Amino acid sequence: MLIHPFKGVENYLSPSFMMKNHIIEVVIPEDIDSGTELSSAYTRKKRVKIEADNSLEDQKGKIAGQKLTGLPDIEDFSYSKAKGSVKSRIGPTTKAKLSAVSMDIKKETVSVDLKKEATLSISINEGPPANWEKVLEGIRKMRSSDDAPVDSMGCEKAGSFLPPKERRFAVLVSSLLSSQTKDGVTHGAVQRLSEKGLLAADAIIQTEEATIANLIYPVGFYSRKAKYMKRVAEICLDKYDGDIPNTIDGLLALPGIGPKMAYLVMNVGWNDVQGICVDTHVHRICNRLGWVSRPGTREKTLTPEQTRVSLETWLPKDEWDPINPLLVGFGQTVCKPLRPRCGDCSINKLCPSAFKEAATPISKAKKTSPSKRS
């Protein structure tokens, strides 16, 4: 049957109220005519039954009987509104006073918008470090004698007597062999390869892997590097006619070639400075000088690649190429990994890490007891 809104209860029976709050069902006996005026009737008996399918008390009861078995799923943080129904049975003489009914079962929807990953990015951009130019000039003066191993045996020295194309490939091979290996050892391996004519892609392909491994021994991971050499030679011969890639991405696609080597080869082989070559010496010295830090922090960088990214944010680009041999040689002669020679360093007053390294421990076994002296 058609239900007409009662006077004074339009707000409770409006569609918006019913949709947002409750589903209200008003049941009227069939003997009441739809046009009957109910406002003149007196209340003899009023019975209101309230049913809440998902009442708060029921939910509390259910939760109390359960144990938390794990972290809630992200879906659990969005709760739907409780569905409720109010049934009012009105007799022939019952006056409709629904406005007096307390709607206490209204539930609020709690919605928590959680993101899977929240990242707080703190930008710390203070510009170049203080006195960096004085520090760099002081290191240049200490390196003026060119007496470090890198000055005569660095990767960029490989194949210096060869034509440009052959020299580029020689620099690539030398860079591949240099990882986890001292300059002197790498230089010796390159010399032996050169004597056998194995600084060209086509020659390497025709040589047994075991022969190459014996020639480059004792460079670090010589067996693996011999395999890499064969594969690199095949790629360069097939794709570049025996030359090397002329992009960073192309070089990084080669087996055994990482960022440090790729930037060095681009600088030396193609005279194209796209980034700073950061090896273990550059990484260590830049952290000791306080020149680099992890993104958004003032903490030391953890990897050479982090150092490269941080250093490139402020170091002028015309310094990107010379900074590698400069700091590598400085690290080989003065700012050594263990027991740096801070007393001989002319920039120790500008270095925040000066004299902070532990001194060389004196072995107790070498000490002679005064009582045992003759």
Per-residue pLDDT of 96-118, as tens digits, reads 443 443 444 344 433 434 333 33
Per-residue pLDDT of 272-298, as tens digits, reads 999 999 999 999 999 999 999 999 899
Question: How large a percentage of the chain has pLDDT more than 70?
Answer: 62
Q: State the pLDDT confidence band at 353, using cuts at 50, 70 and 90.
A: very high
- Do residues 159 and 148 lie in contact, with contact meaning Cβ atoms separated by under 8 Å? no
| Structure confidence at residue 70 (pLDDT) | 40
Q: State the pLDDT confidence band at 344, using cuts at 50, 70 and 90.
A: very high
- Catalytic residue from among 106, 227, 260, 336: 260
Alpha-carbon gap, residue 318 to 350, rounded angstroms: 23
| Structure confidence at residue 138 (pLDDT) | 98
Per-residue pLDDT of 244-272, as tens digits, reads 999 999 999 999 999 999 999 999 999 99
Domains annotated for the chain, with CATH where assigned, are 10-66+74-100 (no CATH), 132-344 (1.10.340.30)
Per-residue pLDDT of 81-99, as tens digits, reads 344 443 444 444 444 443 4
Average pLDDT value for residue range 65-89: 39
- Do residues 326 and 318 lie in contact, with contact meaning Cβ atoms separated by under 8 Å? no
Average pLDDT value for residue range 55-62: 48
pLDDT for residue 45 is more than 80: no
| Structure confidence at residue 15 (pLDDT) | 52
Alpha-carbon gap, residue 146 to 152, rounded angstroms: 8
- Do residues 182 and 280 lie in contact, with contact meaning Cβ atoms separated by under 8 Å? no
Quote the mean pLDDT of the chain. Answer: 76
Q: Under the phi-then-psi rule, with left for phi > 0, alpha for psi from -120 to 50, and beta for the rest, what region is 9?
A: alpha
Q: State the pLDDT confidence band at 357, using cuts at 50, 70 and 90.
A: confident
| Structure confidence at residue 38 (pLDDT) | 42
Q: State the pLDDT confidence band at 158, using cuts at 50, 70 and 90.
A: very high
Does the annotation mark 260 as catalytic?
yes
Helix (H/G/I), strand (E/B), else coil: 315: coil
pLDDT for residue 4 is more than 80: no
Residue 84's H or E segment, with its range, is strand 84-89
- 117 CB burial (10 A radius; 0-12, 13-18, 19+): exposed
Name the one residue in this structure whose structure tokens are 């709050």. Answer: 21
Q: State the pLDDT confidence band at 126, using cuts at 50, 70 and 90.
A: low
Average pLDDT value for residue range 315-323: 98
Rg of the chain in Å (alpha carbons): 40
- Do residues 295 and 254 lie in contact, with contact meaning Cβ atoms separated by under 8 Å? no
Average pLDDT value for residue range 27-47: 43
To the question of pTM greater than 0.75 for the whole model, the response is no
pLDDT for residue 205 is more than 70: yes
Per-residue pLDDT of 169-194, as tens digits, reads 999 999 999 999 999 999 999 999 99
Alpha-carbon gap, residue 196 to 207, rounded angstroms: 10
- Do residues 244 and 172 lie in contact, with contact meaning Cβ atoms separated by under 8 Å? yes
User: Structure tokens of 150?
Assistant: 């890198």
Q: State the pLDDT confidence band at 127, using cuts at 50, 70 and 90.
A: confident
Q: Under the phi-then-psi rule, with left for phi > 0, alpha for psi from -120 to 50, and beta for the rest, what region is 290?
A: left
Question: How large a percentage of the chain has pLDDT more than 90?
Answer: 60
